[in-house]
């Protein structure tokens, strides 16, 4: 069991926030496969405080979509306060603060990973969050800005003193972005220093890599990000592997295609026909990763506009075989 503040979780496998991915259809689908705590993608405090229509849509949720985490991006206390005020009309269980995003326009605004270079400013923002949030506050960090300034341990310790209830740590530096080796040692150092839960992120792509992360770092939970793209089966299969090394049978092509169709339909319900199909295109590629002779189907999927054409394209994949065991 994993406890974050007053939130008690049965599962320590968490669906990480992913910009452009972690919408309501994606979260609900992963929940069907065993995901418990899921996050909405990061949302800028300033956009929330302006109540833009796009932001309100991103915050859409329902009764099945719990427990739910919201992640804020921000650099100024006044917008964070306003965002918390607006969020009081939404139901959620965790408020995470992002000090990890490496995207240029985000760090140039003094937000995301750039806060690792200005820890004092980060702590003052965390104090505002902890004082005003109705739910437990958590913090997402990286190992550090670059390999010469790895400071996750110091940042996490001071953040714990500010009253946050868990730390999510991506074991790469800002400069590494999303590639290169994950630093398991820094995650272990953070875990050993803190008394609050530490949730690890970075290459959480398979049951084996999840076990490796737990074994090498002693972390309390893991955040699944790219590992869940086109692969909600990771939530179904990982617990058995962690318990007794059970290797689950991979989903059949029929099962993958059925799940794709359900996901497509959920996107259409949520975004409307045209937008739903466009949003689903990237998922088509992820679900069919490793399918033999998939290329012409992918090329078509990148142009398909009508829902019925996307459905036919999915059905047409039924004769294909997975080339390697990717799911």
Ligand X SMILES: Cc1cc2nc3c(=O)[nH]c(=O)nc-3n(C[C@H](O)[C@H](O)[C@H](O)COP(=O)(O)O)c2cc1C
Separation between Cα atoms, residue 87 and residue 73, nearest integer Å: 14
Round to whole Å and give the CA distance between 285 and 272: 21
Token pair of 251, please? Answer: 């989903």
Question: Minimum CB separation from ligand X for residue 326, in Å?
Answer: 15
Q: Pick from 5, 17, 25, 221 the residue near ligand X by CB under 6 A.
A: 17
Q: Judged by CB under 6 A, which stretch of 3-11, 17-25, 79-87, 277-285 contacts ligand X?
A: 17-25
| Cβ–Cβ under 8 Å, residues 186 and 167 | no
Task: Give me the catalytic one of 35, 46, 101, 317.
Answer: 101
Distance in Å, CB of 307 to ligand X, minimum: 24
* Segment (H or E) for 155: helix 152-161
| Residue placing its CB nearer to ligand X in the complex, 171 or 251 | 171
Cβ closest to ligand X, residue 193 vs residue 205: 205
- The Cα 13–Cα 26 span in angstroms is 16
CB-nearer residue toward ligand X: 17 or 322: 17
Characterize the bridge pairing of strands 137-144 and 94-99. Answer: parallel
Draw the binding track, 187-216, toward ligand X (x: CB under 6 A; -: no contact): --------------xxxxx-----------
Q: Which of residues 137-196 bind ligand X (CB under 6 A)?
A: 140, 170, 178
Range in contact with ligand X (rule: CB under 6 A) among 13-21, 127-135, 255-263, 264-272:
13-21
Q: Which of residues 33-62 bind ligand X (CB under 6 A)?
A: 41-42
Residues 214-253, one symbol each (x = binds ligand X by CB under 6 A, - = not), give: ---------x-xxx--------------------------
Task: Give the Cα separation of 91 and 89 in Å (integer).
Answer: 7
Nearer to ligand X, 98 or 301 (CB): 98
Mark 266-285 with x for binding to ligand X (rule: CB under 6 A) and - for no binding.
--------------------
Task: Confirm if 83 and 107 have CB atoms less than 8 A apart.
Answer: no
6's tokens? 């007053």
Print the binding letters for residues 76-105 with ligand X: x by CB under 6 A, - otherwise.
Answer: ----------------------x-x-----
Taking the complex as a whole, how short is the minimal distance between the CB of residue 221 and ligand X, in angstroms?
A: 13
SS3 51: coil
CB of 211 to ligand X, least distance (A): 14
Sequence-separated (6 or more) residues with CB below 8 Å from residue 83: 43, 45, 46, 48, 49, 72, 74
Q: Where on the phi/psi map is residue 129: left (φ > 0), alpha (ψ -120 to 50), or beta?
A: alpha
Sign, Cα dihedral of 48, 142, 127, 108 = negative
> Does 18 sit near ligand X (CB under 6 A)?
yes
Identify which of residues 9 and 187 has a Cβ nearer to ligand X in the complex: 187
Size of the site for ligand X (CB under 6 A): 23
* Annotated catalytic residue 46: no
Q: Which helix (H) or strand (E) holds 212?
A: helix 207-217
Q: How many CB atoms within 10 Å of residue 134?
A: 9
- Residues 6+ away with beta carbon under 8 Å from 233: 33, 248, 250, 251, 327
Binding site for ligand X (CB under 6 A): 16-21, 41-42, 71, 98, 100, 140, 170, 178, 201-205, 223, 225-227
Residues noted as catalytic: 101
């Amino acid at each position: 069991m994993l406890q974050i503040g007053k939130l008690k979780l049965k599962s320590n496998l968490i669906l990480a926030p992913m910009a452009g991915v972690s919408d309501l259809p994606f979260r609900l689908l992963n929940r069907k496969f065993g995901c418990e705590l899921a996050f909405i993608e990061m949302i800028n405090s300033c956009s929330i405080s302006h109540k833009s229509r796009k932001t309100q849509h991103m915050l859409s949720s329902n009764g099945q979509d719990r427990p739910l985490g919201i992640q804020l991006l921000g650099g100024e206390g006044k917008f964070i306060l306003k965002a918390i005020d607006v969020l009081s009309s939404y139901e959620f269980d965790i408020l995470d603060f992002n000090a990890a995003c490496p995207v240029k326009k985000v760090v140039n605004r003094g937000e995301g990973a750039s806060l690792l270079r200005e820890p004092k400013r980060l702590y003052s923002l965390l104090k505002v969050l902890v004082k005003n949030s109705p739910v437990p506050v958590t913090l997402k960090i990286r190992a550090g800005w670059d390999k010469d300034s790895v400071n996750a341990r110091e940042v996490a310790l001071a953040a714990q003193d500010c009253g946050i209830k868990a730390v999510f740590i991506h074991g790469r530096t800002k400069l590494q972005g999303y590639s290169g080796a994950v630093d398991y040692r820094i995650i272990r150092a953070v875990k050993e220093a803190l008394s609050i839960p530490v949730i690890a992120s970075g290459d959480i792509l398979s049951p084996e890599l999840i076990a490796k992360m737990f074994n090498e770092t002693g972390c309390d939970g893991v955040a699944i990000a790219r590992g869940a793209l086109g692969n909600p089966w990771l939530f179904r299969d990982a617990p058995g592997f962690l318990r007794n090394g059970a290797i689950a049978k991979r989903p059949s092509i029929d099962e993958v295609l059925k799940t794709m169709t359900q996901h497509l339909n959920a996107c259409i319900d949520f975004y409307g026909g045209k937008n739903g199909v466009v949003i689903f295109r990237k998922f088509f590629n992820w679900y069919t990763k490793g399918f033999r002779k998939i290329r012409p189907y992918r090329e078509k999927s990148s142009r398909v506009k009508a829902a019925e054409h996307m459905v036919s394209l999915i059905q047409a994949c039924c004769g294909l075989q997975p080339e390697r065991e990717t799911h």
